[in-house]
Amino acid sequence: MKFLIIFSDEFHGFFKSKVMFVLWIGLPMITILMHFFQPDMAEFPFSILVSIVLSAIGGTIASAMIGTSLTSEINQKVYDLFLIRPVKRITLLFAKFCAVYLCLVIAVLISLILGLLIDYCTMGGLSNTFMRTLFESLATSLAAIAISCSIGLLFGVTVSSVPVTAILSVYVGNQLSALSILPALLVDIINPLALAAIIGIIIPTILIIISSIIFIRKDF
């Protein structure tokens, strides 16, 4: 119950932020622009290209959002108030992670649905093979965003400077999020969907646990 209350508060906070407003408008616009200016990629589905590009953009923004939010709140002594409330610090971190992740997933899904509609109109329908490939691409994208969010969480609780947190979150988040897709591209026998599910759960879980341990040991 405490998690749901904190999650709801965090989600509404990010939901109403100018950054999310720009994302929910900007990402669909990027999808439309990509449709008109995409390079000649033969039979490569437009929706898959959209999911890859948007996951990179969304992951970068998510990492910076969650990292700078945490660092700023710690510097402003926001969490001093929780010393007198029976709320575990890991609950605070996990709620913030889930709130940011859900906001980005919604933004990506809106853009992806738009991409699907464009594919449907230009290709005259969607084959089973196309849908399976798209689903694998979407799973990889969501895994990449989860990794980026957890990276932002880690730097948010370890770095005291908001600008440094933003820079590290964006740079390192982009590098590590590639782990969700590179092995599948380099080794044909790896199932992209299984790999995305495994990496998208294991790496964020480890990083959230590490962040929680650091956060718990901080003096507020």
Both tokens of residue 185?
């591209």
Q: How far is CA 172 from CA 14, 79, 152, 182, 207, in A?
A: 22, 26, 9, 16, 13
Q: At which residue do the structure tokens 């929780």 appear?
A: 82
For 74-111, write each residue's pLDDT tens digit: 888 777 666 555 677 788 888 889 988 888 888 777 77
User: For residue 37, is pLDDT > 80?
Assistant: no
User: For residue 127, is pLDDT > 60?
Assistant: yes
So what's the pLDDT on residue 192?
Answer: 65
Report the predicted TM-score, pTM, of the whole model to 2 decimal places: 0.80
- Is residue 62 within 8 A of residue 150, CB to CB? The reply is no
For 155-166, write each residue's pLDDT tens digit: 999 988 888 888
Q: For the chain, which residues make up each domain, given as ranges?
A: 2-36+45-217
So what's the pLDDT on residue 26?
Answer: 74
Rounded to an integer, the average pLDDT of 43-70 is 73
d(CA 20, CA 100): 10
For 174-184, write each residue's pLDDT tens digit: 677 666 655 54
